[in-house]
Structure 1
Amino acid sequence: MTTPSTAHRPYTRRISQIERGYLNAAATGTPQLIQMVVEGEGPIDPDALRAAVATATRANPGLAVRRRAALWRADGPLPPVTELPAGTGGFDAPFFHRDLDVVTGPVCEVGLVNGSRTRLVVRASHIVTDGRGLRMWLADVFRALRGEDPLGADAVVDDTHFRTAAGTVPPAPPPARIPRLPAILGTGSADGTALWLGRTVAGTPSAVTARVAAVLARHLPGDTGRVIVPVDLRRHDREVRSTANLTAQLVLDLARDDDWRTLHGRIVRALVHKREVAALSRDFLRDNPFANSLREAQELDGSSFPCTAIITDHGQVDTDELSTAEFRPTAFRTLPMLVPYAEMFLSACRIGEVTELTLSCRDRPGAREAGEALLDALEHALAGADRPAPAPTTSPHEDAPPCP
């Protein structure tokens, strides 16, 4: 299935059901942002980067939209490029915590640190794009830096296109509402600030999502828990190039004794039965397993959660795609956002022969220590993992699902 190009008319598309979920999440006061960090050797010229960002955004106009009633319209500002001080080594600077306004724009921005190591930071509103869409745009930025033509992604379809493309989808019962689960990472009041903890794991094991979920199961404070696995709807029509937010969700219930093979099998069966598409056909409020109103979502105070974690696997990062004649990437990671109804967000990607894990949670007393202990357990499980495993034939995972 193909969609017509928008090259000869202004880029405008309807705000989708998925994107409205993220607008609701933002209304709770929790910024809905994707942040990707590329580190490497060799400089990136700031002026050349600004020109490349402009070229890439013209080819991917969804990264320059603003909200206009029920529509996104590409009449917003281009993503600005901010040069950050060479000493910006951690992620405590205000740049990493400020929100982006989808009404005024910009909906995307870039930070650049040139020093002994170069760091490129891309921040975008998750309301208007997802991880796959942002990586399309980022790849075009580097194509422009290399003097190549961008591939572009200007389709104006939304999730309804992919529901049709998926064909027959067996109905699935909505997940049951479950009591809120006590926090695993720390105790006491959380200040709403994101705490990001990272770990580099030697090796690139298969079935990372299931292996991470199995480790979480053993850390549950009770007998059961619940995780969400984001799924990229583009898998149902790979000819469409779009930077829109096209991430749906699989809800996966955990028991303390679940092993990764059991969980991996359940994920594969859910993908085969297109459960993430079935979820889009449910009544968003009545059948939502986390909150049935904005008021109920706002009452989630960060002390207990109806979802233990969101787990996303960004797959293999193509280092050639993010290179120039002067710059060679050596590390790639994401800084996952906080989600009102989930205690933590775990993101994985593979670059070269290592797996990068990043955990985000609310900063509270004991959270850092508990998070590091959890990463210790995850590193042990992944580093000792056997490579062979039954794996999906698709690469479904993306970013956080919509919040009620």
Structure 2
Amino acid sequence: MGNDTVFRRAISPTERMYHPMRQVAPPFLMQLALPGDGALDPARLRHAVEVASAASPGARLVRSGAHWVDSGRAPRVIVVQGHTLSRIDLEADPIITAPLEPDTTVEVMLLTGDPVTVVLRVFHGVMDGMGMVLWMRDIFRVLRGHDPVGHPDPVADRELVRRLGAPGLPALMVPRFRSAVGAGRQRTGAPRHLLRRRTVDATVSNPVAKISALLAARTAGTTRVMIPVDLRRHDPALRSTANLALPLFLDIPPGLDWVAVKEQMKSGLRGRHELNQMAATRLTDIPESANRVLLRALNGLGARFGRNLASATVSHMGRFDLDELACPEFRPTSIFMLPQHSVAMPLLFTVLESGGRTELGVSVRNGDGVRARLDSLLDLIAAELEQDAARHEATASSVGRGTDGP
């Protein structure tokens, strides 16, 4: 293949910011897991990953100076015999916490325990969460015997925002926001971050607004929630797995209900406010070594004094029809995403819906007392969402029956 046809794109400022995170908050991976019924032939999975990655070369990138370049090599598929992911204390799981090889940006794990589970592990510097979902869908398309859709466009956030234009100025970033899990000193030998998966036995309307309001109700002062917005909404023809998400910040005063939070979110989306945040990535113009120092300082400020650039991130990754992902020998029974760790904010939530359930993946900066407060918070969120779904179902049932019957 000649150099003129090799996929390459500039590393965006957002992605430059993520490079030192591999050392500061390892392993700094988004991890998409699909447990299911049946078995997968490793050779068939490797073939599907190879075909899907050729159609979406963002899964095959290596760094070359200021650019990402297609290596031409499909991500490794690693078979781990007999391993089953825990539902709690995932920060102790040796598969989930393992770093990628230094020159690797993406890999796939096939865990053959009960249940059999496919895990996609992606360095956030090459894809955003939706890019990973698009790539995953193509892998399962190939497993079902179809051609991949493919996402070959060498476009990331900066190029798209330059074309679209930003309507205003970025939000001021000052580390002053508290967290619903509080703060605590980080002890030597203890995990720096905790990872949780929580299943809510219902799907609910407006989960991002409701989770954000619940977090604000447990936080002192104004809560700032970061909502990653998929920039592909501005160009539906764009086919790229690159980082194409920018934050919409919601500043939520105490007592604001989820309906008002939803209106604040809708207003920001109508105004395209997420595009303004591209300008905030100019911070990455400093050398990576200086960026690492800054990131460690932000982590210390949050852990010791409870002062953060944001209170939490809440990211909705979509609603999935599991039958559409099924192949003859394997049917996913759920899908969940474990977010990457952060140092600038203490809480990261991913929300995925499938099979009548809502899966929450949570990364949390650890510290004295955080574990107990986190588990209490997740109990509250799960209970509130399930109760909300039950109320909605009861109301819908009552309306469906009408008021004139016996």
Measured after TM superposition, the shift of residue 293 of structure 1 is: 5.4
- Contact kept, 8 Å, 2:342 with 2:365, in 1: the verdict is no
Does residue 189 of the first structure (1) align with residue 189 of the second (2)?
Answer: no
Residue correspondence of structure 1 range 315-334 to structure 2 within 5 A: 315-334=318-337
Relative to structure 1, the CA distance from residue 378 to residue 29 in structure 2 (aligned partners, 3 Å threshold; closer, same or farther) is: closer
Measured after TM superposition, the shift of residue 160 of structure 1 is: 3.5
Decide which of 361, 376, 383 is 1:358's aligned counterpart: 361
Relative to structure 1, the CA distance from residue 237 to residue 293 in structure 2 (aligned partners, 3 Å threshold; closer, same or farther) is: same
Residue correspondence of structure 1 range 271-350 to structure 2 within 5 A: 271-282=269-280, 284-285=282-283, 294-299=292-297, 300-301=299-300, 302-303=303-304, 304-306=306-308, 307-350=310-353
Partner of 1:98: 98
- Encode CA deviations 1:33-73: one digit per residue, 9 max, x unaligned: 11011011011111111111111111111111111001100
Does residue 234 of the first structure (1) align with residue 232 of the second (2)?
Answer: yes
Does residue 74 of the first structure (1) align with residue 70 of the second (2)?
Answer: yes
Partner of 1:399: none
Decide which of 40, 45, 50 is 1:49's aligned counterpart: 45
Measured after TM superposition, the shift of residue 164 of structure 1 is: 4.7
Partners of 1:245 and 1:283 in 2: how far apart?
A: 13
- Encode CA deviations 1:238-272: one digit per residue, 9 max, x unaligned: 11110111111112222221111111111110011
- Encode CA deviations 1:134-175: one digit per residue, 9 max, x unaligned: 1111111112212211111110122234225546x4214532
Relative to structure 1, the CA distance from residue 363 to residue 179 in structure 2 (aligned partners, 3 Å threshold; closer, same or farther) is: closer
- Encode CA deviations 1:214-233: one digit per residue, 9 max, x unaligned: 1111111x222222111111
- The code of the aligned residue for 1:377 comes to L
Partners of 2:375 and 2:96 in 1: how far apart?
A: 21
- Contact kept, 8 Å, 1:12 with 1:156, in 2: the verdict is yes
Measured after TM superposition, the shift of residue 76 of structure 1 is: 5.9
Decide which of 236, 251, 254 is 2:252's aligned counterpart: 254
Does residue 224 of the first structure (1) align with residue 218 of the second (2)?
Answer: no
- Encode CA deviations 1:332-387: one digit per residue, 9 max, x unaligned: 11111211111111111100211111222134443332112111211122122265
- Contact kept, 8 Å, 1:153 with 1:243, in 2: the verdict is yes
Partners of 2:259 and 2:3 in 1: how far apart?
A: 46
Partners of 1:10 and 1:126 in 2: how far apart?
A: 22
Residue correspondence of structure 1 range 91-130 to structure 2 within 5 A: 91=90, 92-100=92-100, 104-130=102-128
The TM-score normalised by the length of structure 2 is 0.85
Partners of 1:277 and 1:387 in 2: how far apart?
A: 34
Does residue 378 of the first structure (1) align with residue 377 of the second (2)?
Answer: no
RMSD across aligned C-alpha pairs, in angstroms?
2.7
Relative to structure 1, the CA distance from residue 293 to residue 9 in structure 2 (aligned partners, 3 Å threshold; closer, same or farther) is: closer
> Which region of structure 1 is more displaced relative to structure 2, 350-359 or 29-38?
29-38
Relative to structure 1, the CA distance from residue 25 to residue 251 in structure 2 (aligned partners, 3 Å threshold; closer, same or farther) is: farther
- The code of the aligned residue for 2:214 comes to V
Partner of 2:172: 175
Gaps (5+ residues) in structure 2?
Answer: 285-289, 394-406
Measured after TM superposition, the shift of residue 177 of structure 1 is: 1.9
- Contact kept, 8 Å, 1:76 with 1:106, in 2: the verdict is no
- Contact kept, 8 Å, 2:204 with 2:385, in 1: the verdict is yes
- Contact kept, 8 Å, 1:198 with 1:356, in 2: the verdict is yes
Partners of 2:43 and 2:11 in 1: how far apart?
A: 33
- The code of the aligned residue for 2:5 comes to R
Partner of 1:88: 84
Partners of 2:54 and 2:175 in 1: how far apart?
A: 45
- Contact kept, 8 Å, 2:180 with 2:215, in 1: the verdict is no
Q: Percent of aligned positions with the same letter in both sequences?
A: 31
Q: Which of the pair is proportionally richer in helix? A: 2
Partners of 2:203 and 2:3 in 1: how far apart?
A: 40
The TM-score normalised by the length of structure 1 is 0.85
Partner of 1:213: 212
Partners of 2:329 and 2:96 in 1: how far apart?
A: 26
Partner of 2:396: none
Does residue 16 of the first structure (1) align with residue 9 of the second (2)?
Answer: no
> Which region of structure 1 is more displaced relative to structure 2, 180-189 or 373-382?
180-189
Partners of 1:126 and 1:165 in 2: how far apart?
A: 23
Partners of 2:8 and 2:168 in 1: how far apart?
A: 32
- The code of the aligned residue for 1:352 comes to G
Rg larger in structure = 2
> Which region of structure 1 is more displaced relative to structure 2, 86-95 or 36-45?
86-95
- Contact kept, 8 Å, 1:57 with 1:63, in 2: the verdict is yes
Measured after TM superposition, the shift of residue 311 of structure 1 is: 0.7
Partners of 1:151 and 1:283 in 2: how far apart?
A: 31
Partners of 1:261 and 1:182 in 2: how far apart?
A: 21
Relative to structure 1, the CA distance from residue 199 to residue 183 in structure 2 (aligned partners, 3 Å threshold; closer, same or farther) is: closer
Gaps (5+ residues) in structure 1?
Answer: 1-5, 287-291, 389-404
